[in-house]
Structure 1
């Protein structure tokens, strides 16, 4: 199975996904590492990405998931996956994708974004991400976690969710 931790920038998806992957010994990918320099430059300057900007990036993420699938490995990925159409592309790489949506209030996430350093995504882009965010549909495999919890509690919950999902397979 493949577990994609999704949400807007600042929701903690990389922290929680990386922590869960380490605890479970699963391969981990951070979607930020797959962005071409042009996307990073655009976001760094406060310009939201378009779907055309995102498509090659999403294709490379789907390919990474597909490689894990072909190797018979489960995996963990942190990726915004804001729209259903983006999640569909990821599912195209590996059909057994389960989404863990890290979601919370705009104010809490904005506070976290403003307090973080060393990341290319400015807090000014939060509203554009929230505007395009599509919550998981009832037919999409996944769950929602409230980011008001501490990162440690979120990692614990994520480990439980992944373990239970793998046991059901």
Structure 2
């Protein structure tokens, strides 16, 4: 089972991912570490990424997800996954890009039964305050508006668990554990 922790920058993806990784003993993959040097430099200059900037990055994260799925391991991945198309790329790789081309007949399902999204939901002002005080990260607080503008909150059909980021990390982790228990076959329970 793979859980993709998604949301805008500053929503707490890495914090929750690291916490869950320790608690569940699952590997955690930080999606930001797969950004190109050019993407990081662009964000550090305060320039929002375009879809064309993001597609190669999303395909790299897709490869990580596929590798974990093929190994049969449970894993956690942090990735903003702001748009539905981005989430489709995470699930289906380049097939999702082909499916979105004009005139494409390729049909891809909207979800994968063994991949779930954890959507960290919070309001702009709350997250902006977090970003404004965050040290040592290339994502600047003034880029947050562009992330909210791009955000397409996931639909239930996308296998999503929505968490309110005003809750503490322990409380959110407990909700994730409850979700895992509800979806894992009884022979695989924690």
The TM-score by the shorter chain falls in which range?
Answer: over 0.9
- Consecutive unaligned residues in structure 2, runs of 5 or more: 94-110
| Partner of residue 106, structure 2 | none
| TM-score, normalised by the number of residues in structure 1 | 0.94
Matched, 1:166 2:188: no
TM-superposed CA distance for 1:97, in Å, is 1.4
Matched, 1:133 2:169: no
Give SS of 1:118's match. Answer: coil
Structure-2 separation of matches of 1:46 and 1:11: 18
Select which of 133, 136, 146 maps to 1:115: 133
Give SS of 2:158's match. Answer: coil
- Consecutive unaligned residues in structure 1, runs of 5 or more: none
Structure-1 separation of matches of 2:120 and 2:20: 13
* Residues 32/68 of structure 1: CA separation in 2 closer, same or farther (3 Å cut): same
| TM-score, normalised by the number of residues in structure 2 | 0.84
| Partner of residue 8, structure 1 | 8
| Partner of residue 155, structure 1 | 173
Number of residue-to-residue matches in the alignment: 169
| Partner of residue 90, structure 1 | 90
| Partner of residue 76, structure 1 | 76
Bigger Cα displacement from structure 2, 136-145 vs 123-132 = 136-145
Give SS of 1:48's match. Answer: coil
Structure-2 separation of matches of 1:5 and 1:155: 12
* Higher RCO by CA contacts (8 Å cutoff, separation 6 or greater): 1
Give SS of 2:17's match. Answer: helix
Q: RMSD value over aligned CA atoms?
A: 1.6
8 A Cα contact 1:3 1:162, kept in partner = no
Larger Rg, first or second structure (1 or 2): 2
Structure-1 separation of matches of 2:37 and 2:163: 31
Matched, 1:50 2:50: yes
8 A Cα contact 1:6 1:102, kept in partner = yes
Could you give the per-residue CA deviations for residues 36-62 of structure 1, whole angstroms, max 9, x where no partner exists?
Answer: 110000000000000110011000100
Could you give the per-residue CA deviations for residues 22-43 of structure 1, whole angstroms, max 9, x where no partner exists?
Answer: 2111111010111111000000
